[in-house]
Structure formats: structure tokens, C-alpha cells
Structure 1
């Protein structure tokens, strides 16, 4: 069968669900469809990256089959990530295959995280396949600074992508990594821009993953400090709003919009973790900040039916840790986790 992710694999009824050793139901799967990206963001990866051989990647059909198994086990939300997911060849065919589970009521939501570079091309297709909400990574509104932090990015293409996505009917949340000395003074402007266009904004602390040229001890900006600074000009009211991810939200009273905070370094959010991450090579990480993983590719290719594969998934979930071990080591200046975020899925 071709690399088209038809979604024809239907796992047998599996009603046990996925519950980890700490009683948390795993209902959210993040799927990295590629480790490749058309940007080289300075906090994420080195400029001269060595990517996985394409022969190592699961086919789109295999990714679709794995998604079907997780959905049969109780996953209700799937997010496609990368690298940059929209640079994967024929990616719309996978989106369409997974989106079929929404049509039959087995999946609540299919979302996508993107840098926006390819959105102008794919926005209408994403909506047609069942995607209703996406995250767009955007760290500055200054085209010169944007080029500097992405190295290869074109700000105008991202803005055109946002326009296309909103025209297609997609709801957008902007993700902004807070980088000390780079964009902290821009955050009020980012808030007004996002909320002025009906978009939520989420601020994210830098995470110590993968070797990069920059020193993360210099990049790290605690969001507790940034929030205190924002409260000098905005009224921030805690909100119960949640998307199933790790962000904690407030309402910005002056704009009426939502502002999220993802704080893996200063405020561990693991107690409510309901997610696992599948890489484009079929490796399942039970925690973003831990190295323990399960090889699903071998199990996937060992059989054409899905009777053995769910057992491997169950065993993996039984090893899901209570929390991550993120720390920025100021002595060695080494990342807490050696693999890049683009490998695991952003």
C-alpha cells in the first residue's frame, strides 16, 4: 500500500483505556510526523542539523495505523507536530485519515502545531479534513528579529499563513517562547496583536532539550518574573479555561483575550499530565523530559493486525513516570535531555 495514511486499519474493541501508574488517564497523543523543519530556531536546534534518514521514518500509513490503535485505547485528542509537520510529503493524506475518526465520533479533536510557513498552502485542506484549531509558533513581530531567531524564516510568509488560516475558519493560538534579552519587552505588543485578531497567546519557558550553539542559561526567562512585569500594565484574572495541554490561562481584562503560561521549569505541571508523544520513527516517549521510551515500530511491523500492538502500548503506559526532570545545569551547561525537541515533537 502507498504512503498515504488511508486510515483503513480499525483496531479491535479495546475498552480498557490507558491509565498510568498514578491513575492518570492518557487521552492525548502528540504525533511527530517528521524531525525536519524549514526553520532553525536558535533555542530549538543547531543551524547545521543532521536529520534522520527518510528510510527511518514510519510511512504515513503506519502513522495512521498507530493513531487508530491509540484512539481505540481511549485517546480523544491528537496533535500533529514535527519538526514542521507541513513539510512532510503528502501530509494532508494523514490528516484526512485521522480526521475520519472525528466523523465517526471516536476522536474529539485533531490539531496541529506549525511554524506557519506552509499555512497559506494548506489551511483550506486542514479545515476540510476536520482540523478546527491550530497552534502557530511566533516569537516576535519584528521581521528582522524573526529572521535572526529562526535563522531561515520569512516573517511575511508566516503572516500570510495566519491570514489564510483565519480565512479558512481555523482558530489560532500563538505560542511564544520567552527568551531573555530577545523578546521580553515585546510581550505586551504580542498580547495586543493576538487578542486584536481573536487569537489566544501562550508564553512558554525555554526547555533544556538538545545541544544548540547558544547557552540556555543566558536564554532562560522565568515566566513568574514575566507575569509580574505584565501585571504592571494588564489586569490578569485566573481562568478555568483548559485545552487539555499544560498551559494555565488568565484573562487579560484590558483586551478580553486569553493568555496562557507553560512553565516546565518554574512550575512543574506534571500532576495532571494526560499525554504521551510518538515520534516519526515509532518511538513512544511517555514523558517529554525523560529518556525512557518504547519501540512501537518493531511491534507495528511484526504483524499486519493490531492484536499484539495494543499490549506493547499498555506496557509502555505502565512505565509512565510521575514527572519530568527538566533542569538547566549551570555548571555543565548541558541540556537535561540530549535529544532535540524536533525529534520528540514540539
Structure 2
């Protein structure tokens, strides 16, 4: 059974949020004093995460799993959970999105457990800006974590950067140069309306076109073909081999090629990052539903996926959950 929607798209990439908690307070993601976290009893256990992942892989055709949060490294037992997911057959591509603050401690063990690669969030190379943007003085830890990931073989090491107007948008060229020098693959992401305060301002968002203009002030940046279902449009830098990616989620949506589906930390299935509905898998699973029942619920949820996220439509409304509770 494939996870096919009514528009012919097939979901093969599962994003699993392991927690809504985070040890940073990025200004575009959550308030400085944090959020009300999900109650522990509502969170999926390790066994439940593995069971749902196994259903996705063996019954529904999922071949890639990305672990997200919140910040996944704050979940106890992460390394063992990764090891269990890496044992699923057929073997999936297993990656993790992290803020990198604890990666120096975990990178080697995660690689041994079976993690293939990491995406690390890093929006600035200036310690003062990092503190202002995250409310934590952890830039040195993130840089150490990136180096540890590369040493451990979690390749390619990808860096995700969000630029905010008049905050860090002048750093586009310096971020790219820094990543190229270290062999990291940089991806710029347009800021999306997923903040809990619902204060997203299109005027503050730095567009993909603006990002490319900033990069072209110092580099030759040439579009590469063959994007497929990848969210990032790739560009060769100075004729290669280095590349940079731009994810224009707002100004250049890639919904028509989307192959992703998301499972929240409390067991809710979301067919789109911006979905206004969820399918509860936790409750029927705990009530005794068998694997076939859960697979049918999953497939039905994906069949109802909308054609696009609707961010640019006149009736768009932000999801009730913020990004930290959905999982990227």
C-alpha cells in the first residue's frame, strides 16, 4: 500500500518529531520564556515510535525517516531509539534535524547506532547575534557539534539558516564561505508562518530571490538541474564543486512534488506542515488497533492531503501548533 494522495503524489519521507521541547529560544520559533510542553503521558514511547515507523516502512513504502523536534537530542534514550530505527527492514535513510548544541557529545554514538546524516540549524556566525536570536550563549557548542558530526561521518553535514531582515541578512555570503571551507552543505530557508505568537511578518522574511542576490554579490551562483522532490533548489558556487541550496517555501512553493508526511511527538499524523487537521494514531494504537488498522488510517489521512499549503492565499490561517510542536 503506497501513501498516495488524490493528486498522485506519493509520500516516502517520514518526519518524526521526538519531542516538542527545546533548549534554545529562537526568536522566530518560540517566546523567550518557552511554551507549555506536551504532557509526558501523551508523548509516544520509544516502542510506539518504532512500531509506527515499522508500519510506515514495511506496509506503506516509506524509505526515509528524519528525526526532528523540538530538539531531538533532549529526548532521553535517543541513541538507543536510533539504533532500533536503523534495524528496520528494508533499511531506511535515517537523518536528524538538530540545533547542534549537544551534537559534540552524541555524534559518534549516533553514527555507530545507524544515523546516516544530520541537518544543523545555524543562523549566524556572530556570538552576540546568536545570543540575541536564541537567548542562549551556545554558538561555540554548535560549531563543535558540526565538526564532530563531520568527523563521525554523518555526511553530508547540512546547515540550515534562516535570515531575518535587519537581523542577520547581511551574513549570507559569510555563512556560505564558512560552510564551503569546512565541507558543509548550506541551505537557506525562508522564514515560515509557524511561530506560536502568530506574529510572522512577510516584510521581515528575506525571500529566496533576495538571498540569491546577496550571494551573487560575492559568488557566481548557477542553478543546477534535477531537483526532483527535494525542498531545496540547488546552485553551484563558483562553478563547483561546492553548492548552496535555497528553500523558498513561501515565495516558490514546491508542494506539487512534496513527498513528506509528519508524525508529531504525541502521535498525530499531519499530511502537511501547514495542515489544519490531524489524524490521531496514538489513541487507536493504545486501544489495541492492529498494524493493518493503523496503516489504513495513515493511508486515508494522506489521501486527503491538500494540493498546496495555501500560505499565499487570501484565506490562509496559521496552524494552531507552532513548528516546535509539529516537527520539521
Alpha-carbon spacing, 1:179–1:114, altered in 2? closer, same or farther (3 Å): same
1:43 to 9, 25, 28: 28
TM-score by length of 1: 0.89
User: Counterparts in 2 of 1:231-310, with a 5 A limit?
Assistant: 231-240=216-225, 242=227, 245-253=230-238, 256-303=241-288, 305-310=290-295
The superposition leaves residues 95-147 of structure 1 with CA deviations (integer Å, 9 ceiling, x where unpaired) of 1111112xx4x133000000001101110111112222110000000011001
1:185 to 154, 170, 174: 170
Report the CA distance between 1:305 and its aligned residue: 3.6
Larger CA deviation: 119-128 vs 214-223: 214-223
Q: Does 1:83 find its partner at 2:67?
A: no
Q: Does 1:133 find its partner at 2:117?
A: yes
The superposition leaves residues 157-180 of structure 1 with CA deviations (integer Å, 9 ceiling, x where unpaired) of 111111211111112100001111
Partner of 1:64: 50
Q: Does 1:156 find its partner at 2:140?
A: yes
Partner Cα distance (2:226, 2:116) in 1: 18
Larger CA deviation: 135-144 vs 146-155: 146-155
User: Counterparts in 2 of 1:190-209, with a 5 A limit?
Assistant: 190-209=175-194
Report the CA distance between 1:335 and its aligned residue: 6.5
Report the CA distance between 1:256 and its aligned residue: 3.1
**Is the 1:290–1:325 Cα contact (8 Å) retained in structure 2?**
no
Gaps (5+ residues) in structure 2?
none
- How big is the alpha-carbon RMSD for the aligned residues of Structure 1 and Structure 2? 2.0
Partner of 1:54: 40
1:176 to 145, 157, 161: 161
Partner of 1:22: 7
Partner of 1:96: 83
- Which secondary structure does the structure 1 equivalent of 2:292 belong to? coil
Partner Cα distance (2:110, 2:213) in 1: 38
2:19 to 34, 37, 51: 34
**Is the 1:216–1:328 Cα contact (8 Å) retained in structure 2?**
no
Larger CA deviation: 224-233 vs 180-189: 224-233
Larger CA deviation: 204-213 vs 26-35: 204-213
- The number of residue pairs the alignment matches comes to 325
- Which secondary structure does the structure 2 equivalent of 1:265 belong to? coil
Partner Cα distance (1:77, 1:293) in 2: 21
Partner Cα distance (1:62, 1:307) in 2: 15
Partner of 1:118: 102
Alpha-carbon spacing, 1:335–1:118, altered in 2? closer, same or farther (3 Å): farther
Partner Cα distance (2:305, 2:77) in 1: 32
The superposition leaves residues 66-122 of structure 1 with CA deviations (integer Å, 9 ceiling, x where unpaired) of 000110110000000000001001111211111112xx4x13300000000110111
Partner Cα distance (1:215, 1:312) in 2: 33
**Is the 1:43–1:212 Cα contact (8 Å) retained in structure 2?**
no
Alpha-carbon spacing, 1:243–1:129, altered in 2? closer, same or farther (3 Å): farther
Report the CA distance between 1:232 and its aligned residue: 2.9
